[in-house]
């Protein structure tokens, strides 16, 4: 099974996978090489999740008009 790129996962899928990675690493049964690969994947998942969360927060702020004094930045409407 091919692993999807973090940016192609939904927010929830990325968090679920990140949770699994943390559990695997906490068990301490991975080799150093496996741990580094999982750590790298976890960093990518966290970054993608953070980006999606920021986009969602900005969209909500725009829709509510609660942040009218701040300059708006472009966001990608394709959250999936």
Query: pLDDT, tens digit, for every residue of 13-36?
Result: 999 999 999 999 999 999 999 999
Residue 80: name the closest of 3, 2, 14 by CA. Answer: 14
pLDDT band at 63 (very low <50, low <70, confident <90, very high): confident
Q: How many CB atoms lie within 10 A of CB 52?
A: 22
Helical (H) or strand (E) element with 34: helix 32-64
Q: Work out the average pLDDT over 65-75.
A: 64
Q: Is 28 left (phi over 0), alpha (psi -120 to 50) or beta?
A: left
């Amino acid at each position: 099974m091919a692993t999807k790129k973090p940016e192609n996962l939904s927010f929830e899928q990325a968090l679920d996978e990140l949770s699994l990675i943390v559990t695997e690493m906490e068990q301490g049964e991975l080799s150093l090489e496996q741990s580094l690969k999982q750590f790298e994947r976890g960093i990518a998942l966290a970054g993608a999740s953070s980006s999606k969360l920021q986009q969602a927060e900005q969209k909500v702020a725009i829709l509510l008009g609660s942040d009218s004094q701040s300059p708006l930045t472009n966001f990608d409407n394709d959250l999936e």
